[in-house]
Amino acid sequence: MTSSPHLRDGTERDFAALGELMYAALHNGHTQYSKAHSPAWAPEPRRGRDWAERLAEKSIIVAEDTDRILGFMTVQPGGYIDFAFIRPAAQGTGLFRQLYEAIERRAMDWKEPSLSTHASLMAQPAFAAVGFQIVQREIVRVDTQKLKRAEMTKSL
């Protein structure tokens, strides 16, 4: 991994790689969830038409080094951050903050008054570190599992 990843806009050509990265982060990264939670969240890498349609509605910022995507974050009109994933080998390197700052600039260009997300247990500290506050803690049902998360917001 290079010391300074390149940030760029994600495109449809990236969608399969983003699904693979999300799967790797959920299954191989540090987690506070049980072994049963990861397969419920992502039983396999996301791909196909449903995945492409979901990503097509968002602005995507991708971080990459010379040979692969290291992380990505999305924002959509209205200021909702739906996806924020970092490859396990790149976690703890400051990459989350770099991606977030690019997303925040995009939202400010759109004149969004705030940003919001539903953050996993692992993502909550990273979002808190860039100024998000917990609005409410939630438990969501995914397949047969109950997953803890938090609704978080930040005024811009």
At 4 the pLDDT is 80
SS3 at position 23: helix
**Exposed e or buried b for every residue in 60-84, given b needs 16+ CB within 10 A?**
bbbbbeeeebbbbbbbeeebbbebb
Whether 93 contacts 123, CB under 8 Å:
no
Backbone angles phi, psi at 150, to 5 degrees: -140, 140
At 41 the pLDDT is 65
Q: Letter for the amino acid at 79?
A: G
79: left (phi over 0), alpha (psi -120 to 50) or beta: left
Residues of the chain with pLDDT under 70: 1-3, 29-43
Distance CA(119)–CA(63), nearest Å, equals 20
At 2 the pLDDT is 45
**Structural domains of the chain ordered from first start:** 6-155 (3.40.630.30)
At 109 the pLDDT is 97
Distance CA(48)–CA(37), nearest Å, equals 22
Q: What tens digit of pLDDT does each residue of 27-36 get?
A: 776 666 556 6
At 99 the pLDDT is 98
